[in-house]
Structure 1
């Protein structure tokens, strides 16, 4: 009798385990969720990643957004394994970081476009800038390039022949013609956002501008083109993890209807979904 009872219990446990395995495979549920630390910048990214974390739970992921402030590098922390992923940069920035520091990192998905725009307390258009105007641009290579491209597209300067924004970054040395003799000042993005009024105009990334109440669509006097733009923000992991089973549900959790709805409703004019 005791042997038969144990046999029934064993069969029941076996059936339950099999059902659990099928349920996990078809729904993404896992008894032991995968814990992921994702490096982000503070501000508008934080509520977005709170939504991502909620969406990811039924997919078997426990996401811990880690706000990297100041000079802390989400790419360095990812490369050393302190993070499992990060989401704060666009492809040209990552390309420059890999070239400079030899990081072994891979892009696994798009997030949004954080457009760069020019702002001014004095002028309504870049075309109104006088000769010798002081113009602030970000001091990191990729975002400085974006600002110079806007100035080029607005007809204020020209860049060297053959410049390709998809594969190259432009610096002040790449300016071919500057007929208005603009004084272009390189400044850290976080500083530009808080002191743009001290310049005739300044190029500010939306994620920094939003921290001081600026909205590119509402307040900008010129904005980068959205079509065929290589500066879409991305989710990045280590090369060795790019095919890990948690990567796909991580990307799907960001590229979800819930995240899209939040961006389009709460961040209109600041961010543009890129999925």
Structure 2
């Protein structure tokens, strides 16, 4: 009787293990380009069962991950993740650094940065990490000067750090997803690559000024929990996302607007 019970328990354990192994990997991602890239992964690795959950406005993918509603997410860069860990009181695990979406300056009113008028209004993302990133882009393009800071992305800057503003630029902080819609109301806007692509903009072609991809600390990451960091499905997805096939897809499909991190590492 005991032997039969042990066999039954062993069989049940095997079924549970097989069920867990076969469970789809639930991953939250921005629709463009992240979910599109994941759909391509499904084409080249059909044995990896991905359940792609596209993020909509107001949904925090890190809260979804912390609560166990998803197994991983793919949408954010490291400075934003660190800020989220502090805000949520959680620790997450980075399992792959996948691609860079250069931040761009766009306008419906002028054709070049030199044409920006005195007192120009420029809309920037209102979250602390991308606001800092946008201010550094304005400085890089010679439009403002900031207090001397560590430029790694680890030290955040705010409009209060502007020490020289020759054009008298007016900074307007707006929710990141709303920035493309603001283009009709401001002289220019600094827009994250994913929102630019969703709005039909081609960063490599349409931006008046584009963030450099070289030594860029804002690579988009595959993130999970410490408990799932070595899960075979996560490890396999990380390998797929950083594969030559996916890098080639990014280059061909996004024409320089989405840049594989591997390209920068090999420069």
Q: CA deviation at 1:34?
A: 4.5
- Which residue of structure 1 lines up, in the alignment, with residue 213 of structure 2? 226
Q: How many residues align?
A: 244
| Residue 191 (structure 2) pairs with residue 204 (structure 1) | yes
| Residue 50 (structure 2) pairs with residue 68 (structure 1) | no
Q: Secondary structure at the match of 2:49?
A: strand
- CA RMSD of superposed structures (Å): 1.9
- Which residue of structure 1 lines up, in the alignment, with residue 24 of structure 2? 35
Where in structure 2 are there 5+ consecutive unaligned residues? 1-18, 263-267
Q: Secondary structure at the match of 1:161?
A: coil
C-alpha contact (below 8 Å) 1:119/1:203 kept by paired residues: yes
C-alpha contact (below 8 Å) 2:149/2:155 kept by paired residues: no
Q: CA deviation at 1:269?
A: 2.9
Q: Distance in 2 between matches of 1:261 and 1:227?
A: 18
- Which residue of structure 1 lines up, in the alignment, with residue 40 of structure 2? 51
1:1-275 map, 5 Å: 32-58=21-47, 61-275=48-262
Q: Distance in 1 between matches of 2:247 and 2:150?
A: 34
Where in structure 1 are there 5+ consecutive unaligned residues? 1-29
Q: Distance in 2 between matches of 1:224 and 1:47?
A: 23
Q: Secondary structure at the match of 1:54?
A: helix
> 1:170-215: per-residue Cα shift (whole Å, max 9, x none)?
2112222222211010011221112213211110112111122111
Aligned in 2, Cα 1:124/1:271: closer, same or farther, shift over 3 Å? same
TM-score, normalisation: structure 1: 0.83
Aligned in 2, Cα 1:238/1:125: closer, same or farther, shift over 3 Å? same
Q: CA deviation at 1:32?
A: 4.8
C-alpha contact (below 8 Å) 1:127/1:154 kept by paired residues: no
Aligned in 2, Cα 1:182/1:54: closer, same or farther, shift over 3 Å? same
Q: Distance in 2 between matches of 1:242 and 1:89?
A: 17
Aligned in 2, Cα 1:140/1:31: closer, same or farther, shift over 3 Å? closer
Q: CA deviation at 1:38?
A: 0.5
Aligned in 2, Cα 1:225/1:99: closer, same or farther, shift over 3 Å? same
Q: Which has the larger radius of gyration?
A: 1
